[in-house]
Structure 1
Amino acid sequence: MTELQSALLLRRQLAELEKNSVKAFLQSLLIGPPDTLYEGGVFKAHLTFPKDSPLRPPKMKFITEIWHPNVDKNGDVCISILHEPGEDKDGYEKPEERWLPRHTVETIVISGISMLADPSGDSPANADAAKEWRKDTNVEFKRKVAHCVRKSQETALE
């Protein structure tokens, strides 16, 4: 696939996303899903697509501060759908759970929202957040998430 074809495909996917209007995605914003610790949060995220998209996955990075087991301290997101296609050398993921060219901007955004609703501690990007999240009384984790949610609301319009 040429660079021009990749750009045209991405442009078509973005137009489709706007038409279908994914509820929790608005111009690079992910809204914390209801009934989760992230509810009400307004988290800015960037998707960066490689030149050989859709053969390789994009990168997702939160610009807004977020405390989450699957987001490293720099904001980089670590979820299966964004991992390079093929076999997982560590055996955590099946090939069909990883990046596939049929994925769209919409499936990436939905995976990001799902990540907020259901963190995974199996192979965390933020070991400290995962450790706090796993504790029976994860008070410190909840406190840090609540701080991030409040801060995201305050800076949403910047």
Structure 2
Amino acid sequence: MAESQSALLLRKQLSELKRNPVEGFSAGLVNDDDLYKWEVLVIGPPDSYYEGGFFKATLEFPKDYPQRPPKMRFVSQIWHPNIGTDGNVCISILHEPGDDRYGYEKAEERWLPVHTVETILLSVISMLTDPNFESPANIDAAKQQRDDLPEFKKRVAQCVRRSQEE
């Protein structure tokens, strides 16, 4: 049976990442038989609160990728305004395409089929350095970062240490 367009595209993106690794993350398949579920290791960006961390995450792609975005979830515990307590990542480019019914995002900030695994993960690394406080997924983390930065840094440092031990 012919491989679907989404599977061909994912295979191509995986091959490209293996040939030309990108600094800040590594990505591969959870299981060689499933192109739609990837495991990711995000390295805490230099000069960020997350520096030195090794955070595990998963990317799950829909069968109609790239028309719809994948879902990304951190498996490692991470304290961040744009990462829910369940690990789900909340950034614009992972939101369904089209207009935002809440009016926070422009359509061009949301998912577009031109995005790749590389652009997604680079956006996540950027999010670790520069959170979006407009629409936090973790309201407690956003409030703590705004109101009690020393305590926020302490909580993030615990997550970094835990990630190094995993």
Report TM bin, short chain. Answer: over 0.9
1:56 and 2:68 aligned: yes
* Cα distance in structure 2, aligned partners of 1:122 and 1:109: 21
Q: Is the 8 A contact 1:3 1:52 kept in 2?
A: no
Q: Deviations over 1:78-101 (max 9, x none)?
A: 000000000011111111110000
Q: Which runs of 5+ in 1 are unaligned?
A: none
TM-score scaled to structure 1, two decimals? Answer: 0.94
Q: Which runs of 4+ in 1 moved over 6 A?
A: none
Q: How does 1:1-158 map to 2 (within 5 A)?
A: 4-27=4-27, 28-135=40-147, 137-155=148-166
SS of the residue 1:26 aligns to: strand
Q: Deviations over 1:97-144 (max 9, x none)?
A: 100001000000101101111111110000000001112x41111111
- For residue 3 of structure 1, report the CA deviation from its aligned partner: 7.2
SS of the residue 2:4 aligns to: helix
TM-score scaled to structure 2, two decimals? Answer: 0.89
* Cα distance in structure 2, aligned partners of 1:79 and 1:3: 30
Q: Deviations over 1:44-79 (max 9, x none)?
A: 010000011000000000000000000000100000
Number of residue-to-residue matches in the alignment: 153
Cα RMSD after superposing both structures? 1.2
Q: Which runs of 5+ in 2 are unaligned?
A: 28-39
Which structure ranks higher in relative contact order (CA pairs < 8 Å, sequence separation ≥ 6)? 1
